[in-house]
Structure 1
Amino acid sequence: MMVLVVLLLVLLPQAVSKFPGAECSISDPLPILYKYYQLGDLNIAGITSQNFVFLSSINFEKPPCPELFDDTMVLTQLYQHILALAFAVKEVNENPQILPNVTLGFQIYNSQFSASSTYQASMELLSTQERFIPNYKCGIHNNPVVVIGGPNYNVFLHMTAILSNYKMPQLAYGSAPVLENEKEGAFITQMFPNGIHQYMGILQLLLHFRWTWIGVVYLDDDNGDRFVQKVLPIFSQRGICFDFIERLPKQGSSSANNLIVEKGINMIKKIMTHTANVVIVHGEIQTMLVLRTLFQYLKFSNEPKKAKLLIMTAQMDFTSFPLQRLWDVDFIHGALSFAVHSKEVVGFQEFIQIRNPISEKEDKFMRVFWEHTFDCLLPVSMVDMMDKEFCTGEEKLESLPGSIFEMSMTAHSYNIYNAVYAVVHALQTMHPSNSKQRTIAGGQGKKLLSQVPSQTISLEIAKHINISCHLIYL
């Protein structure tokens, strides 16, 4: 029982966000806690996840209220995704040759890795800013021309269920769902490589080294189920046999943590008792923090410890909570991972280095990132961490270990950066300065771009994306 208590403390965040009591109305939804606005003539929306925001148990005895917010857990590495979008927009706005007389803006929402928050963020894009009235837009200045979503399968799946009905162009910068509905697919472009190429690569790797007796661990979602049902039979036909196929536990509400931990511990016990030494891990970007927690359990237990060779899919990335910064990562030593191509973008590191949480008032993601990353308090903070020191705002991101925050652009961030430019090139193609309407200038040009049909934008975006060479081996 003591082990469960220790592990639960590990799973809980560094801080519990407190929200003052307020009158709660049944007509007001729970707010999305973290947003970042910079409005322009044309706006790119982003729906992404940096934080898990857990809710207390809901008994439906009173209207939704911020008091339901219980725990906040920050995946500090994912803040770079927000910065990649902001940096790309900044680059475009500083280059007068790209979209003359037109400024780009952005609206970024934290989907909190939950279906409800993703649906709500999608609906907010269809409402007037700061007023949650879907289908009511007062003015067109903050209408997004496209939505970039990720980093995982579920975020994109939930947002496209809403936005495709409105023919909103969408780009997936992480793993994207396989959509059965052709109408939805008409407005979706994937920046992430087609999964079938990756799975065939894994199969060739297994056959090359004659690893025919393996285990499989997969995430408990539709994408994981499809991998087990559609891909593993192909492996079997080529002579691959499975010692075990285990499902990783889902995240849930704070009250469900005990059950999640118990399921995870039982799973890790099974893996250690089986004979297969090669294990395929089919996960998403948050899967690494779950694996780190479960393998950390072995350090507090008498369970047998066996070295396993992990083969991890490209959707995964090295993510962790700040509390995990001192943990060993020896369980991934020798692991093999597929990855999406990325390269260093000139000026990106400098852009990161000059960020300051004191002056960046509009970036609501930055405060929670900074406080959890540097274990300090920013002025006027509502986080219950009064035993901590105050942040100066001069803390250096480059001083952080890579397990907390990377200065080099990651593959997911590079996908976002390229997604912005795919949108920009599509808009550039339709800009009056590149057509017969060269005499139209300034505001009239902006108006024409804002009235371009969504499907036309989707088609133009697809033309500017080349996915064929994204997948590489590491």
Structure 2
Amino acid sequence: MMTKFYQNALAMAFAVNEINKNPKILPNVTLGFHILDSYSDARMTYRSTLDLLFNCQRFVPNYECKKEKNLQAVVGGLGSDTSFLMADILSLYKMPQFTYGSLDPEVIHTSQRPYFYHMVPNEDRHYMGIIRLLHHFRWIWVGMFVTDNESGEHFIRAMESLFSANGICSAFTQRIPEQPNLDDMEESILIVLMKIFEPLTDEKASACIIYGESVTIAWLRTIIFIEDPEYTAYWIYRKVWITTTQIDFILTGPQKFWDLQMFEGTIAFMIHANDIFEFGAFLELIKPGWNERDGFLKDFWEQAFDCVFGETVPDSEKCTGEEKLAGLPRPVFDMHLTGHSYSIYNAIYALAHTFHAVYSSRLRHKTMRDGPVVQLQPWQLHPFLRRLSFNNSEGETVSFNENREIGGGFDVMNVVIFPNKSFHQVKIGRVVPGAREGEEVVIDWDKIVWHRGFNQVLPISVCNEYCHPGFQKKNKEGQKFCCYDCTPCPDGKISNQIDTDDCFKCPEDNYPNEGRNECLPKHVVFMSYEEPLGLSLALVALSFSLITAWVLRTFMKHKDTPIVKANNRDLTYTLLISLLFCFLSSLLFIGRPRRLNCLLQQPAFGIIFSVAISCVLAKTITVVAAFMATKPRSNMKKWLGRRTANCIVLSCSLGQAGICSVWLGTSPQTPNLDMDSITEEIIAECNGGSVVMFYLVLSYISFLSLICFTLAFLARKLPDSFNEAKFITFSMVVFCSVWGSFVPTYLSTKGKYMVAVEIFSILASSAGLLICIFAPKVYIILLRPELNTKEQLRRWKKE
């Protein structure tokens, strides 16, 4: 017999004894029970079930010779096969059957067994708990050892579906025979060894799930013992075993001298149980002779303590009866109430409360005749069982749902193995029924003790190494999706977690770092007075502004000299004032863009430069007209007045002012943050509005410049005193060179350097006009005043 299962029988005896002593439940009614063994054999299961129903000297179905026997319900069995074999007979008599083992829900729901009552919650509930556990530790390459039966096939189908939906792959699925083939033991073991031992040595699949019956652990341990009796290569078998609810740590017969070190650190999903204090005290009373009707005690005692009862037995082998159950290792006998025993305990109480409800109902309807003991039929219990609800001695509510299943969840235990071949199960969490998605399992992760082979480092169970942050997964052709290569994130994207399927872009105001595993905040950049470039350009602009103001003052001081009066003195003043504003207009481009700055920048630049070029054009036309007026019968003298020059300046300037007005009216510049042009920077800029209008302003200035340059070039050698044409020609060459190179340079730069290009072009072109046109005149005025006389003017004319 399986010595550890003896506790199940004791749990039934304890519950019945406790109820019979309780005056509040079934007063004047005594419960009795019979316990029979199925021997894990179909024929014996049927025979024992019929024996329960019709016990007599001769086996005759449907004939009962012992009238004192009044069978109302059956508790059993532990495994699904035994339970269904029993149900084949019990269902014919509508007998309530309480199963205390975890059964395959698919088989239960499709078998149409209306008299089944499950003392264990639906097994499916802890499947998702397993998935959450795997997810938490990022175990995506998982092996499965499954009992080779119908329940095992359902488990494989259910887990494969959950694996696929949750990004997990099965490294292997190994089916384990329920029992070795006794007819060909050697061949059976060898076949199993070849199939099972190889995946045990797969170091990639550190996490393995075991689904099966209570003896499955004993089966696996037997296989390892045959291959490695001394367990010398324990590090090869280091695994994180994840066991399902029906699995129990059992060693029997010769196995009880083995240890369970290979299962150290196992995470076990177990049927929920509370350790009842009174039951522990009850177990301490168990010894040979404690109850003459206990037919299992002698066999249990001899197997558990490896001794024999009898007078002729040597003292060294004789059972004394003084042995203590508490001294047995837990794989042989458990002094703590197991989940199966707790389910039996609740099943007995469920029956007791049902009987109590039936008798109470009959008393209320006054149908009892000969006292409280009334012959009941088993089928009469079902209406009461379906609406049963009570609190057991531990305060837990026991009731059945619409599928005749007990509510509640499962306990999650961590198995700690001791060197003395015993073990301890530490509760680390539980599966919570009805919880929200993602909260189905609650586990204290810090309590978990791993197999010693992991050196208490978190085990890894993956097909290949994790993809670190900065990389993304790339599937390998022809392999499962859990096997992949790691490729760096593409430009502009990052991954900041392990095993990212796809890299993602940073927010607009961030950029990827060099390792592509983090987003760094972008710096807001603009042409600032605080930085060297911005400060240098501002100083240059102010310097040239002061120089221009000084030149203007010099000309105004010497306004009556011939060189100042030549070529229209008012035009000279207007040109100098416009150049002064040209230099100052560049300051509108420095500093953080504001709404007013953005509105004024380009229009001010365009209009002021148009005025300056218009003045230069008017000067050039004046030179040409003055020469032509010296010819006989020329009518050009009427064009030499101030009115003509003023009209030229005004008309040309108004043309540019009109273009700028249209620009401001349709698409004015506004402050803008450009987050895309430069990877690591946010450019604070003035949004140019219409690009067409910007280039139209430049085109208009260029058009005036070309006309001015052409006329000045043609008039550069005219024999006129203080001829400005050649100086204007030089200035226009500089001006056109600057703005000709501006466009390609402007388009090839970004951010603050684009602004710097425009500021430089403004300063360079303005400086070119100032130096080329006015430097010779200032030289004569200040350094060669003897040349600034009417006599010198007449002498130059004669020459």
Same topology, TM > 0.5: yes
Contact 1:157/1:176 (CA < 8 Å) preserved in 2? Answer: no
**Quick one: distance in 2 between partners of 1:141 and 1:432?**
23
CA distance in 2, matches of 1:456, 1:183: 21
**Shift in alpha-carbon separation, 1:451–1:166, aligned structure 2, 3 A:** closer
The aligned counterpart of 1:249 is 177
Report the 3-state secondary structure (helix = DSSP H, G, I; strand = E; otherwise coil) of the residue aligned with 2:228: helix
Aligned 1:267-282 pairs, distance under 5 A: 267-274=195-202, 275-282=204-211
Larger radius of gyration: 2
Q: Write the distance in 1 (CA, Å) between the matches of 2:287 and 2:23.
A: 27
- Cα deviation 1:140-165 (Å, max 9, x = unaligned): 43232111112222221211122112
Q: Can you list the C-alpha shifts for 1:348-375, whole angstroms capped at 9, x where unaligned?
A: 1222222232353321111110011111
Partner residue in 1 for 2:399 = 465
Shift of 1:457: 5.1
Is the 8 Å Cα contact of residues 104 and 151 (structure 2) preserved in structure 1? yes
Please, which of 111, 115, 130 is the counterpart of residue 187 of structure 1?
A: 115
Partner of 2:51: 124
Following the alignment from structure 1 to structure 2, what is the Cα–Cα distance between the partners of residues 155 and 456? 26
Give the direction of change, closer, same or farther, for the CA distance of 1:305–1:248 in structure 2 (3 Å limit).
same
Of the three residues 195, 202, 220, the one matched with 1:291 is 220
1:263-296 superposed Cα distances (whole Å, 9 cap, x missing partner): 3311332213433221111111111111221222
| 2:352 aligned with 1:424 | yes
Equivalence for 1:170:
97
Equivalent of 1:341 in 272, 280, 286: 272
Q: Percent identity?
A: 35
Distance 2:152 2:411 in 1: 22
Moved more, 141-150 or 229-238: 229-238
Which runs of no fewer than 5 residues in structure 1 stay unpaired? 1-50, 52-74
Aligned to 1:138: 65
Alpha-carbon distance in 2 for matches of 1:243, 1:309: 14
Aligned to 2:293: 362
Task: Show the counterpart of 1:109.
Answer: 36
Q: Please give the alpha-carbon distance, in whole angstroms, between the structure 2 residues aligned to 1:366 and 1:457.
A: 35
Asked whether the 8 Å contact 2:38–2:82 carries over to 1, the reply is yes
Aligned residue number for residue 436 of structure 1: 364
Tell me which residue corresponds to 1:150. Answer: 77
* Aligned counterpart for 2:14 among listed residues 64, 87, 106: 87
| 3-state SS of paired residue (1:325) | helix
CA RMSD of aligned residues (A): 2.7
The residue that corresponds to 2:248 in the other structure is: 317
Superposition TM-score, scaled by structure 1 size: 0.77
1:320 maps to a residue whose letter is L
Task: Answer whether contact 2:104 2:123 (CA < 8 A) is retained.
Answer: no
Alignment of 1:386-465 (within 5 A): 389-432=317-360, 435-437=363-365, 440=368, 444-449=371-376, 453-456=380-383, 458-460=385-387, 464-465=398-399
Q: Which residue of 1 aligns with 2:262?
A: 331
Per-residue deviation, 1:321:
0.6
The letter for the 2-side match of 1:284 is E
Deviations 1:401-437 (A, max 9, x none): 2222111211111111011001111111111477415
1:380 and 1:454 map into 2 onto residues whose CA distance is 49
Distance 1:225 1:250 in 2: 13
| TM-superposed deviation, 1:334 | 1.7
Instruction: State the one-letter code of the partner of 2:51.
Output: E
Q: Deviations over 1:35-82 (max 9, x none)?
A: xxxxxxxxxxxxxxxx2xxxxxxxxxxxxxxxxxxxxxxx21110000
TM-score by length of 2: 0.47
User: Is the Cα contact below 8 Å between 2:99 and 2:118 reproduced in 1?
Assistant: yes
Correspondence for 1:375: 306
1:161 corresponds in structure 2 to 88
CA contact (8 A) 1:282 1:312 kept: yes
* Separation of aligned partners in 2, 1:473 and 1:181: 26
2:146 paired residue number: 218
Structure 2: distance between partners of 1:184 and 1:454: 19
Match of 2:786 in 1: none
Q: Which amino acid aligns with 1:294?
A: I
CA distance in 1, matches of 2:290, 2:197: 48
Q: Secondary structure at the match of 1:269?
A: helix
> 1 or 2, which has the higher helix percentage?
2
1-side partners of 2:112 and 2:171: how far apart? 38
Moved more, 318-327 or 188-197: 318-327
